[in-house]
Chains A and B, each alone.
Chain A
Amino acid sequence: MKGDREKVLARIREALVLSAPHHDEPVGVKATSSAPFRAWLPPVGEAIGEQVVLFARQSEVLKTEFLECADVAVAAAHLAKLAAENGWKRLAWHAGALNEGVVPHLSSVPGLELLKVGAGYDPDALEACDAGITECETLVAQTGSVMVSALSSGGRALSVLPHHHVVVARREQMVSDLAESYARVEKRYPGGLPSFLSFISGPSRTGDIERILVLGAHGPKKLTVLLLP
């Protein structure tokens, strides 16, 4: 059932018979152009080092905890510390090369149950988790964002349902801006993008009540990004 497809399209075509004036001169946005507007957005350095510094600065503004880790052991130790500090009882994670390197280190943390989500997981069990650890597609320096997807980050819910979201990423996943991030995923999934992609910029928040910032509106109250070499 497609509804009034033909009627709506006919009305559109009829309406477009008269052409509308441009208010501005065209700015070279052609069907083939590759994001010519990038130069006008907030500036980002070319070198990865600069981008990491900018990402760290944006993270501070967004109230994301950002930590550069020298190796997997440092990341695992930090996670163990977070688990102890926040009293994590259950931790959810998904299969993935980076995760497999970090998460098994946590099996020694006393009283911490690990839940590996896969097809057919129980949403209630996931909701009961204190934290979720995911990988990501990219880190975006310009905005301090993490791009997650249904394929790289354990589906749609793992990165939003538990109260603390932890991202593990590699330095090479740092990109300058959103446009570069899109280019990366296009290249990675030539057969079609995952059904869900999202730029996450800081922990969930709201200012709906008197413009006062509250973290943890519906999604995670805390966001931690661990950057491995």
Chain B
Amino acid sequence: MSQILDQFQSDTARTTADVPRRAFVRKALRGYEVKRDETKATFTDWQRARNAASAIKYEGVNHLDRYLQEFEEKFTARGGKVYWASNAAQAREYILGLARDRGVKSIVKSKAMTSEEIHLNAALEKEGYEVVESDLGEFIQQLKKEPPYHFVFPCMHLKRGEISALFEKELGTAPTDSPEELTQIARRFLRRQYLKADMGISGGNFIVADRGVISITENEGNARLTTAMPKIHVALIGIEKILPRMEDLALFLPMLATAGTGQHLTCYNSMYGGPRQPGEIDGPEEFHVVLLDNHRTRLLADPEQRDALHCIRCGACLNVCPIFKNIGGHAYGTTYQGPIGSVITPHFRGLQDWKHLSGASSLCGACTETCPVKIDIHHHLLRNRRNAAAQKPVWWERIVWFGYVQTMTRPWLLRIATKLAPFAQKLHPLVLGGVFDPVRAWTKSREFPEVAGESFHDWWKKRKAKKS
């Protein structure tokens, strides 16, 4: 058994046993779901809007080379710099190189899951740079030295008392149970950082090809400050975030907000088309966009699951997922949690090591149904299972399936088996829970259902005989 699977099993056992935390998280997720449904209902036709969004992302992702080059051409014409990173190490090295070369001391960051993906903070801190996360949730998680719990709501699992205690310990502030005051503590602390930082690092929600801009969606204003005050702005973005046209944002911004947080539009949706231009009074002197591949092209090469790259990271599939509700965000052990994370992580980090995520699914399809860009999420989980089994079959599974097929294709054998099953079950208590118990994974926490004394086939025959 692999170490990653071991970790997953022990983490999920622990988190599912924490019933109060589960109830707390479930209540918050339910709140997002209700709000989203309300806002969705204001659309004239949400389903057709979804179709349009899906088709636009299809167009972008399936002509990715063309649109990325168009973006690059337009963006560099206005003084921006584009760096293409094959992998995490290259992206880190480029940003570190910039920081060294420009004599940077202090760095302020707005939320970027790509930076979690490449472990950018650790790399920067190791070289002595001060790095401060400015999104409130990320700021809290950074102080807690914990990765985000949910890629849209990083600290949704924490109660205000825990946050107050954390601030007290790390910032020396007085305890409070008011979210308002806690927010103000972070606000006061971070205001100084925007003004003193030499470099601002952001992510990006969309790369717009035809106007050479990137678009950033947020509520707090921290990304706007991160990209307004420091003299260097670096945006680290996955290559799949492409949109062909600026006007596509007129659909995607409302859909991202609706699906993500249930808002009509998040508070700030900003489009950045370069560093400060002649005639403008402020803005960074330099603007670098780092286009990150880091195995995204591996997923692109799988036409069956390519649409997983349409994802706009709204987090809606996490909010409705029964698995996420029960095991929570940290147990996944991935940068991207929830159903979409379970689909893409095996492509990014190895199918065999991460195939268990496709097993941790009820295949209820709630994720697929809620996805604003119509990614076929739950079928992709099945496809990952199939691909993993085909790539590296498990010997005992093969034996079991062989036996199953033999039995199911021979009615006489099936009849014998169903006749014998009740007797076999009588012997079950002898091995229950032990290494010889074939269903011990099941009986660990549940009772095995009793096998019927009579098969359906026999029952039906008897019933017919009675009638005639």
Residues of A whose CB lies within 8 Å of any CB of B are: 1-5, 7-9, 11-16, 18-24, 26-27, 29, 31, 34-43, 58, 61, 94, 117-121, 123-124, 127, 142-145, 150-151, 154-157, 160-161, 177-179, 181-183, 186, 192-212, 214, 216-220
Contacts and interface: CB of A to CB of B under 8 A. Distances in A.
B155 interface: yes
B224 interface: yes
A12 B64 contact: yes
A24 B52 CA distance: 9
13 contacts: A8-B293, A9-B68, A12-B239, A27-B52, A38-B250, A142-B254, A155-B281, A192-B273, A199-B269, A201-B267, A206-B220, A208-B140, A209-B183
Contacts of B270: 196-199
Interface size bracket, B side: 35 or more
Given A8-B86, A27-B48, A34-B247, A200 B268 contact: yes
Interface stretch (B37-45, B123-131, B354-362): B37-45
B129 to A, nearest CB: 20
Given A3-B90, A208-B135, A218-B225, 17 more contacts: A9-B68, A18-B303, A21-B303, A27-B55, A42-B43, A42-B44, A143-B265, A182-B250, A192-B78, A195-B274, A198-B268, A199-B268, A201-B265, A205-B219, A205-B220, A206-B183, A218-B222
A117 B270 CA distance: 21
B187 interface: yes
A182 B229 CA distance: 25
A195 B280 contact: yes
Contacts of B86: 3-4, 7-8
A24 B254 contact: no
A157 B229 contact: yes
Interface of B: 28, 31-32, 42-46, 48-49, 51-56, 58-59, 62-65, 68-69, 78, 82-86, 90, 94, 134-137, 140, 153-156, 158-160, 163, 179-180, 182-184, 186-187, 190-191, 195, 211, 213, 219-222, 224-225, 227-229, 239, 244, 246-247, 249-251, 253-254, 261, 263-277, 279-283, 287, 291, 293, 297-298, 300-301, 303-304, 306-307, 374, 376
A210 B160 contact: yes
A212 B28 CA distance: 10
Contacts of B160: 209-210
B219 A206 contact: yes
A38 B134 CA distance: 34
B94 to A, nearest CB: 7
Contacts of A58: 264
B28 A217 contact: no
A41 B258 CA distance: 11
A199 B280 contact: no
Contacts of B179: 209-210, 212, 214
A179 B250 contact: yes
Contact of B253 (A1, A26, A42, A178): A178
A29 B140 CA distance: 42
B195 to A, nearest CB: 6
A36 B42 CA distance: 18
Nearest to A19: B303
A13 B65 contact: yes
Contacts of B283: 150, 155-156, 195-196
B180 A214 contact: yes
Nearest to B140: A208
B271 A196 contact: yes
Contacts of A157: 225, 228-229, 282
B306 A217 contact: no
Contacts of A118: 281
B52 to A, nearest CB: 4
B293 A41 contact: no
B183 to A, nearest CB: 4
Contacts of A120: 281
B134 A23 contact: no
Contacts of B225: 157, 160-161, 218-219
B28 A40 contact: no
